[in-house]
Amino acid sequence: MNTKTMLITGSSRGIGAEIARQAIGEFNIILCYNQSEEKAALLCAQLSKYGGVIALQADVSKSNEVAELVKRAEAHFGKIDILVNCAGIAQQKLFTDITDEDWHTMMSVNLDGAFYCSRAVLSGMISRKCGKIINITSMWGEVGASCEVHYSASKAGLIGMTKALAQEVAPSGITVNAVSAGAIQTDMLNDLGEETIEVIKKETPLGRIGTPADVANAVLFLARESGNFITGQVLSVNGGFVI
């Protein structure tokens, strides 16, 4: 059996790590991390009991590092069938307090990183006439969030890239979709504080904060054959917060 290979950026913790846990055994996994080497190594060791997995370091905001990442990944597993662009950062600031550095850093990780990774894997996917790209975006990219303008803009850009790229590469048999996450129990959410989290929980129709598994389930639905006729779509996982 020809096991497909999935590259997950930002996969040392949170949503990315949960996607890897759910996908291992069904797919070969490439864990891409930037700074969290210890967490990535631990996760890699845990997952290695169940299937093929390697951990590779790369700063996705740097195109040369992404090119080297893909080169090493393809050398190890032969090809990359599925790319999950999960690496991302967030920051809360008044719009007038956002510095040039804040803005460029946000865009370089959340949007440039997905661009670099998608571009790097597409040549192989196009030549094979198959492949899947799944971008992890946010409900704030759909509707915007006060005090998170740069974050919202980066995620809205990712949605736009998803829809446009899906049309461009569809004739090559490649699908491109986004999973738009709501309030999910991760380190990023914990930075907001307990009071804010409680407010979000009350404003969510399903009455709870989402889990990384909720997002991972959606990603795996798209990654499997169940998602073969779906492209250019934004699958929202937000408990009804945004409809």
CA-CA distance, 206 to 163, in Å (whole number)? 28
Element (H, E) at 4: none
Q: How many CB atoms lie within 10 A of CB 55?
A: 23
Spatial CA neighbour of 82 closest among 11, 28, 136, 41:
28
Residue bearing tokens 């992404």: 66
Of 33, 50, 116, 151, which residue is the catalytic one? 151
Locate 6 and state its tokens: 């999935």
Verify whether residue 151 is a known catalytic residue: yes
Q: How many CB atoms lie within 10 A of CB 198?
A: 11
Region of 221 (left: φ > 0; alpha: ψ -120 to 50; beta: rest) is alpha
CA-CA distance, 156 to 38, in Å (whole number)? 32
- Angle (deg, nearest 10), helices 149-169 and 113-128: 10
**Three-class SS state of 74:** helix
Locate 119 and state its tokens: 């571009």
Spatial CA neighbour of 31 closest among 72, 91, 90, 2:
72
Locate 67 and state its tokens: 């090119």
Catalytic positions:
151
